[in-house]
Structure 1
């Protein structure tokens, strides 16, 4: 069976068992502060398990895109080294929300694997929870009894709490689980050692294939367990591992999911897979990481320097580095593999085809950038090797090695490899210490402690009233205390609320709760999954009573102006630039709006003006909002509503229409476009390959901006002494300035030439060293640098130290010929650091050229003498 047939067989099987087949949620998580990426199939159903969302279908099945590269689940460093770990993978799953339980799920798992997939029964093992005295739980004899219908007792294994008790996190739903393992070893190996001896022992051919989780407890903040009112089933099966077992191969990478990609890598590198372990690992890394990066970009996450974007950038850079080091691929190549990936998985995940051009462009630009960085990192490592040798060291400093890892993407093994080629080692303890310090900083920055929810009244879901009102009488349904970075606050959930929770790019509302004249400030409103959470610094005195909830209406109104303006902007961009324009992100608050969109070149001034004109025209038309809050998804698609890749939509959606602008949106908007007043674009820039960003303002902020520009123009006119043609006057002024600058540069060149000749006449010799040591008068530090490099090219065996007082600030420059650096071990950077102390400053640089600045110009003569002492 092909992977496509296996995936279809799974979904068809559970559809026949009465399950609703749902789409995969985006791999990039939004609205859940505990997760960056979807790392398990159950993530999109989290609110159902927590009781925060009503259950529409009691039985569900799907295939879910997952990414495990951060937090508790992090397989990144294993990927490629073995044949069964991945960053991005598919998880096939079936769920029961208060419906069937252990018996049915165990029977169906057996039926699917043995009867439908044809896996040999004598190669399967099941593990059950052995119990835990800490939790006062006994062995899961119930699950074991159901397995005994299918497996002999010796194939039913007891598993530890670590392996066979699944928990969502430190708190929340949890329960025992039953893992299914398959033994794929050859018969002769199986005859020597039974598979049960290798279960959970990291054997590449005795692997876990399916995990059946029986959610029946809630873990409280104090660590105790509480029985859930309804029992659930959550299963997850590694699709790649299933394909490996069904297709009869010994590696996930030998399945058709990866072989087409690896085949293309073979062509690009001219290296055959299966001939060398190092190149095999590199090809597996590239094939795996391609999938992770491509799906992340398709879901709206671009590589960047922080949070989820940094994780994606690291994954891509790891792939580039493996290609560079082991496949000798020195030019961008990963972007060329996107076409093969689309052909392999695009029928199930249409976003790959829809976003192909963007994915390729982003990956190519990232590759080009990192290949340059990689080259720079290698040069830096060469300098570290040289420095270590000069200091008669035997190993490269661990902190330096960590900088290479953190900044340039060099893993420790690559640094160690290059070091060994030069007869050196790496201080691994120092590297580990630096790594741990960084992890500690990250943990401290993200440290979040939450108490148990205190339930006051039971609700199915918070009803949102904010589309129609900014005030309402509400009751608190539940609350909890939260501590983060030594700050303590409370999260409140209401039975209904006029407050908009941050989502879809729109910030959360602020306002207050009022009861008997006492006000409790709500400083933010957030969405956690589907839960609207109101943040307050203190808990109201009588939380069980009713309150008047009041939204800051002015802030809401200005935010609505900006949100509606983003819809008008989106439509205008598509009209001016083309229908390839799609939203890639946004930020909407009361001050301004930010809109990211797909477009492959900088917008011209004319295009920006056209877009502004179209938006302001629509504002003047005062188009009324047309809103429908419960439109079936199919109907919304027929209407041509814009949908965003990476967003998870329900079966019924809210459609917002202003003229030709039709979008699915849950945000707040103006009743008619005239309320916006004025729209003004203040910047247009690139944020990634193929993605541009517009920042704009509306209403009073736009008026203030225009008035500031007019006042600036008036001031310029006054400075130009009332010139009627301001542009001509400024142009003439700039020309005069340029002419003067050229004259100054010519004068400085002559001054430098005269100073150079004077210094050459003052050369003294110490052995074979030509020494220049002087305090000089110059206009700027650039003149000294120019002078230093000219003298270096003209004087052999030069040791030059020059001091200067530039506008009251001491400057020290040292230039040393490479011949002296190599033969006598002189180091300009090291010398300038010591000499700089005399001017109460410091500096650094390269071995042959370095500079220092300071606070005490009177110390320049002593600094020069200090530098000269290194020539003794």
Structure 2
């Protein structure tokens, strides 16, 4: 059974069991501050488990793209080395939100694996939670009894809290889990050691393939204990080696468990491991998930796979890493130097280094794998096929950039027995080596890296302490009914609201508060548009809202103070002027996007945006700088649409398929629901899916002006523009500047001709000055040549001079060197009011190694409060003390004697 059939059978099986099949969420997370990437199947359903949103169906199944390379779930070091860890992988999952529970979940899992996939029952082992006395967690008797109807008791393993109890975070939903493991060893090997003894012991052939999590408890703070403050204090202050164990012990003491009102099922089955088991392979990389990529790498490199361990690992690393990088870029995350972008850059550079070192790829290569991967998954994850060319070009540019410094960095590491923190930082800062890549190469060569020293150097560069960046967030305090916040800001800028919960936020020794209302007119930062500001007011107080953001499905309002009376009703008022200017810029962004696609081509896609009350910034896919003519065409087109005064056509709660049929552009990397909002400014011009706020008609925008066009990443350009009153102010300022220029030129009839004449006059004068300076330098050179004194086997020129510029001084020195092969020249120069020392040694004298120009100039520079250096035969130094030139001459006489 090929991998496509295995995936399809899973989804069809659960569809028959009443599950709604939903698409994968993007790898890159937009509104979850706790995660950089989607690292498990449950992430897109997080708000359902937390009670912040309601699922469209109580039964759901999917296949989810996941990425694990940092934090708690970090598999990067094992990738390519072993046969079953990956950076990007698929997680097959079925979900129950308050519907079925353990009985159905375990029975269906067994049915699918043994009857549909035909996995041998005698190779399967199951585990259940055996309880934890320290945390007062009970043995999962129910799951144990259910499994007894399918397998013998000797194939049921009692797992510990680490392996068989799942928790989302320190608080919240949690519960026991039941894993299914498969033993893929040969009959002979299975006779030697029972598979049960190898479960959860990192054996490459005895692996977990499915985990069934049963969320039946909620963990909450024990009101009689210290709560979040004690745990935050522990995290900041504890220095022991057993921090993880000690922290868990403390958390158990600080919290209690209670049953959830609705019990949920969250399952996850590793697709790549499942394929290995069904296809009877000994490695994930031997399945057809990876063989097309490995075959291409092998053919292109001319190196056979499974011929040598080092080249095998290199091929596996590249095959794995290209999947992670390609899908992250397709989902909107470009490689960069910060955050999620840096993780993607790290992964790609790791792959490039393996190809360079072990497969002899000296030119960009990994980008060539994108079409192979896109065709392989074109029916599953269509976003990569749709952006195949763009993703390939981004990877090509990144590869080319790193390859320019890779060889030099590797040479820098040659001969080292250990790498200090400073050297590791130099490799990062100068050659682009991520720390984990430096550490990997060091391990291959048998020496160590001072990783802590590297981190110290990083902190120096950032110029900020960890303490200053620390953020302490308290727990939500519930006020009355904890209802989901409703956004009403499309239609209202004022509303009566009630606070439903709040929490305290401490950052950089400043206390802030975050408030959630039952409904809100404040727009939360999303889709590039910044959050609204304003205030809430009651009869007795006014509290200013400084920002509004989304946290998963919550709308969170920031305030510098907490209202005194939390239970009263407040009038929430949005800053109308700021909102209007933001709407002008947001609507202009839609007009700009359409204009770019018209002028540059349909390959243009939005890759990021910022919309606030002052400016709009729009990032888009394009591989060349826009010409002035293209920029002007785009600007003219947008202003023409503004003058047309096109009325906004806003449609809410449109079925997603219907929206796409209308021609609405769906951005890659965005997660859309079943119902969307469609913003149209002329159905033949601009139709987009958008949750932002917009003008009622384009005429409200007034004026659109592009102020810059630049590159921000490989294959991504950026336009910054202004609208409305900011554009008007820009034009006024430019006209005022132009009027000043006219006045300075005495109001000529033809301003451009006058400026050209002025420029030509300036150029002619500069040439005259240059000729004069050259003549003066020649005179000085001739005078110095006459003063040269033959002594001790050299021609000495030791003088104080005045020259017009540094180039003249350098030219004099080289001219005299050409004239005297035994020259020893030391000049203390006044260069347009600034002191400078120059030392030049003739070719014949330099061969004696009697004098070193660099050493001499460093010593002499002290007399002018300066510093410098250079080559053994020529060196210069600048300084601050012009009065020290005489002292330079005197010191030089002593030094050469």
Q: Secondary structure at the match of 1:503?
A: coil
Query: Aligned to 2:344, which of 301, 306, 312?
Result: 312
Equivalence for 1:11 = 11
Query: Aligned to 1:296, which of 321, 324, 328?
Result: 328
Give, in whole Å, the separation in 2 of the partners of 1:378 and 1:822.
34
- 1:199 matched to 2:199? The reply is yes
CA contact (8 A) 1:54 1:461 kept: no
CA contact (8 A) 2:419 2:449 kept: no
Give, in whole Å, the separation in 1 of the partners of 2:198 and 2:516.
48
Structure 1 segment 81-100 matched on structure 2, within 5 A: 81-100=81-100
Structure 1 segment 449-464 matched on structure 2, within 5 A: 449-464=472-487
Give, in whole Å, the separation in 1 of the partners of 2:324 and 2:369.
13
- Deviation, 1:396, is 5.3
Give, in whole Å, the separation in 1 of the partners of 2:873 and 2:220.
63
Change (3 A) 1:866 1:19: farther
Give, in whole Å, the separation in 2 of the partners of 1:848 and 1:78.
53
Query: Aligned to 2:296, which of 264, 276, 290?
Result: 264
CA contact (8 A) 2:420 2:453 kept: no
Please say which of residues 520-529 and 132-141 is displaced more in the overlay.
132-141
Equivalence for 1:76 = 76
Give, in whole Å, the separation in 2 of the partners of 1:239 and 1:208.
11
Change (3 A) 1:478 1:325: same
Change (3 A) 1:708 1:272: same
- 1:726 matched to 2:751? The reply is yes
- 1:428 matched to 2:459? The reply is no
Equivalence for 2:652 = 629
Unaligned runs of 5+ in 1: 389-393
- Deviation, 1:326, is 1.5
Change (3 A) 1:418 1:9: closer
How many residues align structurally? 860
- Deviation, 1:415, is 6.2
Equivalence for 1:226 = 257
Equivalence for 2:124 = 124
Q: Secondary structure at the match of 2:174?
A: strand
- Deviation, 1:304, is 1.8
Q: Secondary structure at the match of 1:525?
A: strand
CA contact (8 A) 1:125 1:181 kept: yes
Query: Aligned to 2:733, which of 708, 713, 733?
Result: 708
Give, in whole Å, the separation in 2 of the partners of 1:432 and 1:395.
14
Equivalence for 2:703 = 678
Structure 1 segment 325-340 matched on structure 2, within 5 A: 325-340=357-372
Equivalence for 1:528 = 551
Offset from partner CA, 1:411-440 (integer Å, 9 cap, x none): 67986999999xx996633x4422366489
Q: Secondary structure at the match of 1:635?
A: helix
- Deviation, 1:292, is 1.1
Q: Secondary structure at the match of 2:289?
A: helix
Query: Aligned to 2:392, which of 360, 369, 374?
Result: 360
- Deviation, 1:832, is 7.9
- 1:247 matched to 2:284? The reply is no
Please say which of residues 218-227 and 651-660 is displaced more in the overlay.
218-227
- Deviation, 1:375, is 4.0
Q: Secondary structure at the match of 1:257?
A: coil
- Deviation, 1:855, is 4.5
Give, in whole Å, the separation in 1 of the partners of 2:793 and 2:74.
59
Change (3 A) 1:707 1:199: same
Equivalence for 2:24 = 24
Query: Aligned to 2:713, which of 682, 688, 691?
Result: 688
Q: Secondary structure at the match of 1:655?
A: strand
Equivalence for 2:687 = 662
Change (3 A) 1:146 1:581: same
Give, in whole Å, the separation in 2 of the partners of 1:789 and 1:131.
85
Equivalence for 1:538 = 561
Q: Secondary structure at the match of 1:586?
A: strand
Equivalence for 1:391 = none
Offset from partner CA, 1:506-553 (integer Å, 9 cap, x none): 000000110114111110000111111111111111111110000000
- 1:474 matched to 2:497? The reply is yes
Structure showing greater Rg = 2
Equivalence for 2:661 = 638
Q: Supply the RMSD in Å over aligned alpha carbons.
A: 3.8
Offset from partner CA, 1:832-856 (integer Å, 9 cap, x none): 8888776556678899988766544
Please say which of residues 152-161 and 507-516 is displaced more in the overlay.
152-161
Equivalence for 1:161 = 161
CA contact (8 A) 1:479 1:490 kept: yes
Change (3 A) 1:258 1:473: same
Give, in whole Å, the separation in 1 of the partners of 2:821 and 2:200.
68
CA contact (8 A) 1:828 1:848 kept: yes
Change (3 A) 1:99 1:814: farther
Unaligned runs of 5+ in 2: 222-226, 228-250
Query: Aligned to 1:609, which of 632, 654, 666?
Result: 632
- Deviation, 1:623, is 1.6
Query: Aligned to 1:347, which of 372, 379, 386?
Result: 379
Q: Secondary structure at the match of 2:336?
A: coil
- Deviation, 1:607, is 2.2
Q: Secondary structure at the match of 2:708?
A: strand
Q: Secondary structure at the match of 1:568?
A: helix
- Deviation, 1:47, is 0.7
Please say which of residues 812-821 and 71-80 is displaced more in the overlay.
812-821
Give, in whole Å, the separation in 1 of the partners of 2:501 and 2:765.
72
Offset from partner CA, 1:355-405 (integer Å, 9 cap, x none): 1111111111111111112244356557xx6xx9xxxxx755431133204
- Deviation, 1:273, is 1.4
CA contact (8 A) 2:421 2:457 kept: no
Give, in whole Å, the separation in 2 of the partners of 1:803 and 1:849.
14
Query: Aligned to 1:493, which of 516, 528, 533?
Result: 516
- 1:502 matched to 2:502? The reply is no
CA contact (8 A) 2:610 2:617 kept: yes
Q: Secondary structure at the match of 1:204?
A: coil
Q: Secondary structure at the match of 2:42?
A: helix
- Deviation, 1:22, is 0.3
CA contact (8 A) 2:129 2:165 kept: yes
CA contact (8 A) 2:421 2:455 kept: no
- 1:114 matched to 2:137? The reply is no
- Deviation, 1:166, is 2.1
* TM-score, length basis structure 1: 0.89
CA contact (8 A) 1:398 1:426 kept: no
- 1:514 matched to 2:514? The reply is no
- Deviation, 1:454, is 1.2
Give, in whole Å, the separation in 2 of the partners of 1:276 and 1:821.
53
Give, in whole Å, the separation in 1 of the partners of 2:630 and 2:2.
49
Offset from partner CA, 1:262-292 (integer Å, 9 cap, x none): 1111222221111122211211121111111
Please say which of residues 60-69 and 218-227 is displaced more in the overlay.
218-227
Change (3 A) 1:715 1:122: same
